[in-house]
Amino acid sequence: MLAPQRPVSVFDHRPVAVQLVQQHHSGAVDKHVLIVDMAPAALQYRLSRTTRPAMSTTPLNDDEYAALDALQDVAWLEGFLTAIVLTPQAPAQAEWLTAALKDPQAQALALRHHHYMQTWMSKDPASFEPIYECGGSWTASQWAAGFRAAMALDTAAWDGLRAAHPEWLAPFAAEVAEDTAYDAIPSAVISMQAYWNPPKAAKVGRNDPCSCGSGKKYKKCCGA
């Protein structure tokens, strides 16, 4: 059964028509069977295009998410990338990318999804919804596992946050039930983004009314 479309903002370009249903093992190669809402001929053509190395920073489309999910769990990867984006001083890309990839072939698509998460967190963080809410086989538990894996790359920063706001990191613990994590993760991510990246105060123009309430222009009052 295909997941229903649930757009949440202008930055939400995530998949809604793909579901991983079965995995077969043949030696060292994993093959995946996908249910996709399009004709086989069209799917073969589109996947042949989307699995080529990608240099763009455009959001992934449904077919590219399917290709990426065939290489590694997209929920785990997005949880990992979200933690990297949130961290005040993220590790060097060479360091976190090695930890993020389960298959080197996923690199181009993973980097584009990282850019997408950066854009979303910087432009419209209040609308954030993790990818597991799109349905399919993705779970909040896997998303949280990826988030914890990225936290391990900068324990000092996360230990400081845990001391200040333990309630924000509680939903990511391994022992947390799926339903609890599912509901609590989005608001926790939004809170952490606001904590580490507070909105900048609007700049006061010299001819604007002074914020002190004097009624004078800023340049003739506090800005003199």
The CA distance from 79 to 194, in Å, is 18
pTM summary value: 0.69
The pLDDT of residue 14 is: 52
State the angle between helix axes of 107-123 and 93-100 in degrees (0 to 180), rounded to the nearest 10. Answer: 110
Give the three-state DSSP class for 24. strand
pLDDT digits (tens, 9 = 90+) for 189-221: 999 999 998 877 667 677 778 777 777 776 677
Check: CB of residue 20 under 8 Å from CB of residue 32.
Answer: yes
The pLDDT of residue 212 is: 73
Residue 166 has pLDDT above 90, yes or no: yes
Residue 29 has pLDDT above 50, yes or no: no
Sign of CA dihedral 187, 94, 54, 63: negative
The CA distance from 174 to 103, in Å, is 24
In whole angstroms, what separates CA 21 from the centre of its chain? 23
pLDDT digits (tens, 9 = 90+) for 32-58: 334 444 444 443 334 333 443 434 668
The pLDDT of residue 38 is: 46
